Structure 1
Amino acid sequence: MRSNQACCNMNFGVFAGPSEIRPFLLLSSELPATNLQLLVQNRVTHIINVGTMVENCFPEAFVYKRIVIQDLPTEDIKRYFEECNDFINEARRANGRCLVHCNAGISRSVSIVMAYLIKHEDMSVKSALCCVKAIRPVAQPNNGFLLQLLEYEAEVRGHL
């Protein structure tokens, strides 16, 4: 029994409530995205769902963007950065709050949030990852996504 409890405690950070990266930008695993009360408490208005096999649970209550992508280094996540950035800005302009989630809140959703910080806050990949990790320590995009974020940073800075 003790080892099960330790296992549950070890994973708690992954499945805990949303992490507030900015007042208008939240990051989480899939579990908070399925909890209407939690979403309302956090004043979420927009949701980017980057999870697999995770439905948009409350389409009547929130504005959704659905991105279907696997957490694999070979997946092209970079092609979604601009549309997700626009969606986050749409929420911000409306004085809303955008939740970005995937299954565990570690790789895909973190990559989307980092892309936003790279473009709209002029951060490097390293700075964006440090910023997110300071708030959500489990954050760790897979190596393929990190390479694409580096490419995106170079494009945003005009180096490609």
Structure 2
Amino acid sequence: VRTQGVPDRGPPQLQLCKVTNALFISNARSACTDDLIQQEAVTLCINVSKQQPFPESSRIAALRVPVYDDPTEDLYRYFDSCADAIRDEASKGGHTVVYCKNGRSRSATICVAYLMKYRKLSLAEAFTVVRTSRSVVDPNSGFWAQLERYEQELKKRQGEVDNAPT
């Protein structure tokens, strides 16, 4: 049924949104759709939630990051381990999907952290890449502050590498 001038949108489209050739972001419903997982050859699922399910396939590695979408949650402590897992999976030719309930805040934050660490992007650049791939991304204020802190930490680490004796 269509109302004049208002398109019938139906249920939200199921999709895995490509951030890089080896990294996807989505909501939980899409990430748990076997056809999509197979279509994109996903080999690792990073579930950034305490309650959302994992895909049923036992062939896929799974990593849970148990946080709520709450600005007071400490997602920062998972940035390095998640970024490393995404990088390691890509180096083996694998594909990772990072998801949370709605694919907006928690999963986006992890994807941005990965791009900052391994693609050497600024927070603004990394956020633009993720938002371009999935327009609804919107890390909550606490996660954004943690990403700002991570950006400074990564700059500090890079400075230590640049200034190391040769």
Does TM, scored on the shorter chain, surpass 0.5?
Answer: yes
Give the aligned partner of residue 145 of structure 1: 143
Q: Match of 1:61, as an amino acid?
A: R
Give the aligned partner of residue 163 of structure 2: none
SS at match of 2:15: coil
1:79/1:7 Cα in 2 relative to 1: closer, same or farther (>3 Å)?
farther
Mapped contact 2:2–2:8 kept (Cα < 8 A): no
1:61/1:8 Cα in 2 relative to 1: closer, same or farther (>3 Å)?
farther
Query: Counterparts of 1:1-160 in structure 2 under 5 Å?
Result: 9=9, 12=12, 16-58=14-56, 60-158=58-156
Q: Match of 1:39, as an amino acid?
A: I
Structure 2 unaligned residues grouped into runs of 5+: 160-166
Q: CA-to-partner distance for each residue in 1:13-46, whole Å, 9 max, x for gaps?
A: xx53010000100000001121112100111011
Give the aligned partner of residue 164 of structure 2: none
- Partners of 2:123 and 2:49 lie apart in 1 by 22
Q: Match of 2:154, as an amino acid?
A: V
Q: CA-to-partner distance for each residue in 1:44-88, whole Å, 9 max, x for gaps?
A: 011101123212233512011111100000000000001101110
- Seq. identity, %: 31
How many residue pairs are counted as aligned between the two chains? 156
1:34/1:73 Cα in 2 relative to 1: closer, same or farther (>3 Å)?
same
Structure 1 unaligned residues grouped into runs of 5+: none
**Which structure dedicates a bigger proportion of its chain to helix?**
1
1:10/1:62 Cα in 2 relative to 1: closer, same or farther (>3 Å)?
same
- Partners of 1:104 and 1:26 lie apart in 2 by 14
Larger gyration radius, structure 1 or structure 2: 2
- Partners of 1:2 and 1:67 lie apart in 2 by 41
Mapped contact 1:49–1:56 kept (Cα < 8 A): yes
Q: What's the Cα RMSD here? A: 2.2
1:121/1:138 Cα in 2 relative to 1: closer, same or farther (>3 Å)?
same
**TM-score (structure 2 length as normaliser):** 0.86
